[in-house]
């Protein structure tokens, strides 16, 4: 309980834009140093990456669910906060913090750098549409960057073309798109490219059969049948015996939870039709 309390305090980071955070920020530096000390004392850094992610993720259980943390006024900046997480920023934070711990580069600047690399196309900010808004785009781009490998086909996934067009056809829901018709056009072009990509999806009825093949830290993306979208939710695997539990930032439970078995969680929502799985790769 003491370790959980310390780590909970550690992760109460304020909202900050990536481009403006530096290691001399005393509060951020102190928090990262505390995390590094806990990891060293617990010998986390010597674990395989997936196991490290599962341990770190457990320390975030109870963190409030907060949506929309990446949005803000003005030009696109890479915002990171760990006092409130949504489903994407949860797995993104666990992934990057774990890779940094494993690589021995636990600094504020390194965290900023690694988050930017995974969140933006080719790791560079070039306006709102350079952010990997669709999970399809996130998986494909981070496979190219050598950060994850998509194991969905190996798990028996069937080929699917994702019919994405929600953002360009519903710009009213996105402040950055409402104000910029050129960004809407760019997003439509990105969506057209993504519709031509082949993703592999394990159907909901087959998930229980592949749970034993999943590993700690595997990133699970849940496919939705909602029009114009690809994936509706994300989280990570935590193994329990021969089964896989699902750890995620839940919008219904309003915090990060270590939930039930993956196949049972998927079965709760009629519009969740299957999953794709990305396995994180160790930092080089």
Share of the chain above pLDDT 70, in %: 88
Mention every residue, 6+ apart, whose C-beta is less than 8 A from residue 251.
65, 67, 86, 87
What are the pLDDT digits (tens) for 221-251? 999 999 999 999 999 999 999 999 999 999 9
Q: Let me know whether 121 and 149 are in one domain.
A: no
Q: How many domains is the chain built from?
A: 2
Q: Let me know whether 156 and 42 are in one domain.
A: no
Q: Let me know whether 176 and 267 are in one domain.
A: yes
**pLDDT (mean) for 33-51:** 83
What are the pLDDT digits (tens) for 256-266? 999 999 999 99
This prediction has a pTM of 0.89
Q: Let me know whether 138 and 113 are in one domain.
A: no
Domain containing 230: what range? Answer: 134-280
Q: Let me know whether 197 and 216 are in one domain.
A: yes
What are the pLDDT digits (tens) for 162-176? 999 999 999 999 999
């Amino acid at each position: 309980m003491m370790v959980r309390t310390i780590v909970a305090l550690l992760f109460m980071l304020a909202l900050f834009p990536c481009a403006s955070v530096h290691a001399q920020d005393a509060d951020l530096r102190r928090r990262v140093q505390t995390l590094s000390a806990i990891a060293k004392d617990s010998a986390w850094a010597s674990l395989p990456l997936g196991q490290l992610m599962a341990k770190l993720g457990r320390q975030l259980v109870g963190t409030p669910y907060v949506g929309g943390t990446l949005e803000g006024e003005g030009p696109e900046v890479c915002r990171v906060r760990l006092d409130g997480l949504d489903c994407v920023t949860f797995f993104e934070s666990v992934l990057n913090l774990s890779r940094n711990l494993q690589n021995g580069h636990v600094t504020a600047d390194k965290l900023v750098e690694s988050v930017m690399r995974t969140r933006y196309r080719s790791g560079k900010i070039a306006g709102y549409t350079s952010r990997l808004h669709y999970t399809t785009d996130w998986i494909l781009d981070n496979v190219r960057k050598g950060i994850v490998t998509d194991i969905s086909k190996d798990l028996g996934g069937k080929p699917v073309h994702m019919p994405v067009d929600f953002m360009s056809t519903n710009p009213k829901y996105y402040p950055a798109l409402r104000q910029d018709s050129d960004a809407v056009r760019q997003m439509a072009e990105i969506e057209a490219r993504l519709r031509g990509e082949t993703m592999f999806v394990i159907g909901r009825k087959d998930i229980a059969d592949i749970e034993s093949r999943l590993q700690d830290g595997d990133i699970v993306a849940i496919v939705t049948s909602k029009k114009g979208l690809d994936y509706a939710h994300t989280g990570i695997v935590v193994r329990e015996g021969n089964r896989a539990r699902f750890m995620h930032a839940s919008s219904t439970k309003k915090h990060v939870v270590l939930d039930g078995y993956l196949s049972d969680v998927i079965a709760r929502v009629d519009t969740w039709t299957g999953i794709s799985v990305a396995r994180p790769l160790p930092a080089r």
